[in-house]
Structure 1
Amino acid sequence: MSDNARAKLPLSLPTSLPSGLHARGRGAGSNACGRFEATRREVFDDGWDLTLEARVLRTEVRQETPRSALRRNTSPDIAFDRSINPYRGCEHGCIYCFARPTHAYLNLSPGLDFETRLIARPGLGAVLERELRKPGYSAAPVAIGTNTDPYQPIEAEYRVMRELLEVLAAFRHPVTIVTKGALIERDLDLLAPMAAQGLLHVGISITTLDDGLSRKLEPRAPRPARRLQVIARLAEAGVPVRVMVAPVVPGLTDAETEAILTAARDAGARAASWIMLRLPREVSALFRDWLATHYPDRAARVMGRVRDLHGGQDYDPQWGQRMRGQGVWADLAAQRFDRATRRLGLDGKLAPLRRDLFAPPPRPGDQLSLGL
Structure 2
Amino acid sequence: MLPPRNPDERLRARGADTRPDGRFEPHARMRESDGWDIPEDERLLRTEVVTERPRSIITRNTSPDISFDRSINPYRGCEHGCIYCYARPTHAWLGLSPGLDFETRITAKPDAASLLARELARPSYRPAPIALGTNTDPYQPVESKLAIMPGILRVLSDWNHPATLVTRGQTVLRDVALWAELAAKRMAAVGVSITTLDPSLARAMEPRAPAPATRLRMIRELAAAGVPVRVMVAPVIPVLTEPEIEAILTAARQAGATTASMIPLRLPLEVAPLFRDWLDRHRPGMAAHVMNRVQAMRGGRDNDPRFGHRFRGQGAEAQLALQRFRLARRRLGYHRESAPLDCSRFGPPPRAGDQLSLF
TM-score by length of 2: 0.96
CA distance in 2: counterparts of 1:337 and 1:15, whole angstroms:
38
What do the CA deviations read for 1:157-184 (whole angstroms, capped 9, x no partner)?
Answer: 1112222111111111000000000100
What do the CA deviations read for 1:265-308 (whole angstroms, capped 9, x no partner)?
Answer: 00010110000000000000100111111111111111111111
Give the deviation of 1:314 after TM superposition: 0.6
Equivalent in the alignment of 1:171: 159
Give the deviation of 1:19 after TM superposition: 2.6
- Check if 1:231 corresponds to 2:219: yes
Equivalent in the alignment of 2:240: 252
- Check if 1:214 corresponds to 2:208: no
Give the deviation of 1:15 after TM superposition: 5.3
Q: For the structure 1 residues 369 and 266, does the alpha-carbon distance in structure 2 shift closer, same or farther, using more than 3 Å as the test?
A: closer
**Structure 2 unaligned blocks of 5 or more:** none
Moved more, 176-185 or 350-359: 350-359
Give the deviation of 1:36 after TM superposition: 1.0
Equivalent in the alignment of 1:3: none
- Check if 1:138 corresponds to 2:107: no
For 1:31, which of 10, 19, 26 is the aligned residue? 19
Equivalent in the alignment of 2:260: 272
Q: For 1:125-164, list aligned pairs within 5 A.
A: 125-164=113-152
Equivalent in the alignment of 2:314: 326
SS at structure 1 position matched to 2:292:
helix
The question of whether the paired residues in 2 share the 8 Å contact of 1:245 and 1:257 is answered with yes
- Check if 1:303 corresponds to 2:312: no
CA distance in 2: counterparts of 1:359 and 1:190, whole angstroms:
18
CA distance in 1: counterparts of 2:76 and 2:141, whole angstroms:
13
Give the deviation of 1:66 after TM superposition: 1.7
Equivalent in the alignment of 2:271: 283
Give the deviation of 1:91 after TM superposition: 0.2
Alignment-mate amino acid for residue 242 of structure 1: R
SS at structure 2 position matched to 1:251:
coil
CA distance in 1: counterparts of 2:312 and 2:240, whole angstroms:
16
**Structure 1 unaligned blocks of 5 or more:** 1-13
What do the CA deviations read for 1:77-106 (whole angstroms, capped 9, x no partner)?
Answer: 111010001000000000000000000000
CA distance in 2: counterparts of 1:371 and 1:138, whole angstroms:
25
CA distance in 2: counterparts of 1:35 and 1:205, whole angstroms:
28
What do the CA deviations read for 1:29-77 (whole angstroms, capped 9, x no partner)?
Answer: 1210001123454445444433322322100111001211111111111
Aligned residues: 358
CA distance in 2: counterparts of 1:258 and 1:243, whole angstroms:
12
For 1:103, which of 73, 86, 91 is the aligned residue? 91
Alignment-mate amino acid for residue 13 of structure 2: G
Structure 1: 4+ residue segments shifted above 6 A: none
Moved more, 340-349 or 167-176: 340-349
